[in-house]
Chains A and B, each alone.
Chain A
Amino acid sequence: MELYQELTKDVRFVEGLKSCMNCGVCTAICPAAEFYDYDPRIIAGIIQSKDEKRIEELLKSETIWYCGECMSCKTRCPRGNTVGLIIMALRALSQELGYFAESEKGRQQLVIKRVIGGNIVTKGYCLLPENLVPELHPEQGPVGEWIYENKEEVYERVGANYKGDGEGALRKIPQESIDEISRIFEITGGFNRFDKIEYFSKKKAESMGFPENGDDYTDYINHTFTTNNGKHNRQ
């Protein structure tokens, strides 16, 4: 497979890379470049070189997972490039080929797929109050814990329709609509991506010696959710 050619099939890639002169304005404005060992200017340069070996290395690297997709680069590029869009095309291809499982940051796709992806296709939302378990979200603080422990009462007090029928915040989305979302995922390749993330993650989990945990690979999930090797940050 010609990796560069594959990237050009993604309209976001076509929009994202016009002609980079490596001025570095994207790097200057990039929140990720300030925090991580990350330089969007180099990403654009590697892709523009069409060097298949370097593109493959990138697809297997930690680097492509550092971007926060804030798209600040879009505003500033004097030539109308958007490294954030290039990153989205790279991440899509990395998951298609299973390369994402080769990096610590890439392996986190499984937990995102299980939680956010699971929510979308079963409840119709990206995020649910039930996800904000205090142990997993200590940043939510004592108020977040209070909300979590008293969900029904707090949400009712502020006018939400938590798990209720009809309209309103946090309402239960009717099953026929959830079924439509599922069919959209089936037809458009959404479930295909989910399956690839599961397949390659399980292979990786096995190679790293994690137990199946009844085919859920819970230990592996917990590992990817909490592990940070401390080598990602800008020094």
Chain B
Amino acid sequence: MKREGKIQVWQDYQKEIADDHYFYVRSCIRQNFFPGSEQTFLKILRKELNKDIYENPHHTSCSGIGYHSDIVPFDTIQTIVARQFALMTEAGYKNLAVSCITSFGIYNEIIETWKEFPSELEKVRNFLKKATGREFEIPQNVAHASDIVYKFRQEIAEAGKNRLVNQKTGEPLKIVEHIGCHYSKMFPSKGVGGAEFPHVLVGMIESWGGEVVDYPERRHCCGFGFRQYLVMSNRGYSVSNSRKKFESMEPYKPDAIVSNCPGCPMFLDRWQYVIEEMEGKTYGENGQGIPVLTYEEMAGLVLGYNPWDMGMQMHQTNVEPLLDKMGIKYDPDLKYTRKDGKMIGKPTMVGCRC
């Protein structure tokens, strides 16, 4: 196919992402496991890109984990989402920036439901008015936070102090990218690159000097499965799905895994530890695990941010092998310190048993 034709085809996989003035909604999972990533995202937007992004302390969970574990009815989550939109409307914003893939899928599902079933929208407007007295407008633009980082990836590259390049060999680092099912499997047109060619993380990796690993189970679920992780006796489902991905990516010797979704990096990080405990198997170099990053952490490393400020000490699988390859200087003595620099104490074990 000629280049012009290819460009035409790719037009179908583009997504409009607002340029500025975002209303930010946080993620239950990201703020529990990777709170530093949310801080990093806000810092990049406000300090590096000089964008306006507003957070209202009154916004809540979208209740998505409850919805997808089926304890929260559809009417209830629709009305909670409508309340988030009301807070956005009241603050004078029209562009929603969503920290969570589960929430992102839910916002899209609900907005599409309202288009398909206008009676649902009318019902929800009445529910919200009755429950809170609030009214709302539907956002003009819904972006996942990674969409926004993707949009400004070149600016981040230009401001960057580090590259996704092995400083010893000069070779691009090999990065596995994991999109998260609810980013575009449900509504392909809502994600950059759709469901077939998700490009949101690829664009970041390639713009920052890395090389994307293409492997057979690239699009397979991490195994969260909501109730399949929440309940202890179901967790075999979760670890089995992550294991399937690790086995598939292992021959390509990735230097790191970067994830779009808040939950996926936690699972891909923690299940490496569990598999090592259960089977003695590790997937990284020299008996270590494969470092797992959020895309905010990857952007922060490129920009030269301190990994411990970003919360990378909260990973079970050691991130130091990646930092060393990138040539990033860090002080290991500060990894487990408090804000005032005093030692908290160390975990009994970090990484895999190696």
**Any chain B CB within 8 A of the CB of A132?**
yes
B221 to chain A, nearest CB (A): 4
**Any chain B CB within 8 A of the CB of A75?**
yes
**Any chain B CB within 8 A of the CB of A2?**
no
Is there contact, CB below 8 Å, between B57 and A11? no
Stretch in contact with the other chain, from B29-37, B152-160, B163-171: B29-37
Task: Give chain A residues whose Cβ lies under 8 Å from the Cβ of B346.
Answer: 146
**Any chain A CB within 8 A of the CB of B73?**
yes
Q: Which one of A10, A150, A159, A181 contacts B36 once the chains associate, using CB atoms below 8 Å?
A: A159
Is there contact, CB below 8 Å, between A193 and B347? no
Separation of A16 and B241 alpha carbons in the complex (Å): 24
Is there contact, CB below 8 Å, between B74 and A169? no
Given contacts A68-B224, A75-B185, A75-B195, whether A159 and B65 have CB atoms under 8 Å apart is: no
CB under 8 Å from chain A, chain B span 103-154: 105, 113, 116-117, 120, 127-128, 130-132
**Any chain B CB within 8 A of the CB of A116?**
yes
Residue of B with least CB distance to A193: B73
Separation of A185 and B72 alpha carbons in the complex (Å): 9
**Any chain A CB within 8 A of the CB of B236?**
yes
Given contacts A69-B226, A181-B60, A181-B80, whether A158 and B35 have CB atoms under 8 Å apart is: yes
Separation of A71 and B55 alpha carbons in the complex (Å): 30
Given contacts A157-B338, A193-B71, whether A126 and B28 have CB atoms under 8 Å apart is: yes
CB under 8 Å from chain A, chain B span 257-310: 270-271, 273-274, 308-310
Task: Give chain B residues whose Cβ lies under 8 Å from the Cβ of A199.
Answer: none
With a 10 A CB-CB cut-off, give which of B63, B120, B130, B240 has the most chain A CB atoms.
Answer: B63
A9 to chain B, nearest CB (A): 11
Q: Which one of A95, A160, A180 contacts B131 once the chains associate, using CB atoms below 8 Å?
A: A180
A interface, by DSSP: helix, strand, loop or mixed?
helix
Task: Give chain A residues whose Cβ lies under 8 Å from the Cβ of B59.
Answer: 177
CB under 8 Å from chain B, chain A span 160-180: 160, 165-171, 173-174, 176-178, 180
Is there contact, CB below 8 Å, between B185 and A116? no
**Any chain B CB within 8 A of the CB of A186?**
yes
Is there contact, CB below 8 Å, between A156 and B237? no
**Any chain B CB within 8 A of the CB of A147?**
yes
Task: Give chain B residues whose Cβ lies under 8 Å from the Cβ of A183.
Answer: 131-132
CB under 8 Å from chain B, chain A span 92-117: 92, 95, 105, 108-109, 111-113, 115-117
Task: Give chain B residues whose Cβ lies under 8 Å from the Cβ of A193.
Answer: 71-73, 76
Q: How many residues of A contact B (CB 8 A)?
A: 90
Separation of A135 and B32 alpha carbons in the complex (Å): 18
**Any chain B CB within 8 A of the CB of A125?**
yes
Q: Which one of B80, B231, B316 contacts A142 once the chains associate, using CB atoms below 8 Å?
A: B316
With a 10 A CB-CB cut-off, give which of A34, A115, A126, A170 has the most chain B CB atoms.
Answer: A126
A137 to chain B, nearest CB (A): 8
Separation of A12 and B220 alpha carbons in the complex (Å): 24
Residue of A with least CB distance to B310: A158
Is there contact, CB below 8 Å, between B241 and A91? no
**Any chain A CB within 8 A of the CB of B162?**
no
Separation of A154 and B270 alpha carbons in the complex (Å): 18
Stretch in contact with the other chain, from A47-55, A211-219, A220-228: A220-228
Is there contact, CB below 8 Å, between B185 and A159? no
Separation of A113 and B259 alpha carbons in the complex (Å): 29
Q: Which one of B181, B227, B310 contacts A108 once the chains associate, using CB atoms below 8 Å?
A: B227
Residue of B with least CB distance to A146: B347
Is there contact, CB below 8 Å, between A139 and B239? yes
Is there contact, CB below 8 Å, between A125 and B61? yes
Task: Give chain B residues whose Cβ lies under 8 Å from the Cβ of A35.
Answer: 236-237, 240-241
Given contacts A10-B74, A142-B348, A188-B75, whether A158 and B131 have CB atoms under 8 Å apart is: no
Task: Give chain B residues whose Cβ lies under 8 Å from the Cβ of A61.
Answer: none
Is there contact, CB below 8 Å, between A160 and B31? yes
Task: Give chain B residues whose Cβ lies under 8 Å from the Cβ of A105.
Answer: 234
A-contact 0/1 string along B189-225, CB 8 Å cutoff:
0000001000000000000000000000000110111
Is there contact, CB below 8 Å, between B339 and A156? yes
B81 to chain A, nearest CB (A): 10
Task: Give chain A residues whose Cβ lies under 8 Å from the Cβ of B244.
Answer: 34
Task: Give chain A residues whose Cβ lies under 8 Å from the Cβ of B69.
Answer: 112, 116
Task: Give chain B residues whose Cβ lies under 8 Å from the Cβ of A75.
Answer: 185-186, 188, 195
Residue of B with least CB distance to A138: B274
A residues adjacent to B (C-beta < 8 A): 10-12, 15, 31-32, 34-36, 65, 67-72, 74-75, 82, 88, 91-92, 95, 105, 108-109, 111-113, 115-117, 120, 124-129, 132, 136, 139-147, 150, 153-160, 165-171, 173-174, 176-178, 180-181, 183-190, 193-194, 197, 224-228, 233
> 19 interchain pairs (CB within 8 A)?
A32-B237, A34-B240, A35-B240, A70-B181, A70-B182, A70-B221, A72-B181, A105-B234, A126-B66, A139-B270, A154-B314, A158-B39, A167-B55, A169-B31, A174-B58, A184-B80, A188-B127, A190-B76, A226-B233
A82-B186, A141-B274 provided; 11 other pairs, C-beta below 8 A? Answer: A120-B63, A125-B61, A129-B32, A139-B239, A142-B347, A154-B314, A174-B57, A184-B76, A187-B79, A188-B79, A225-B231
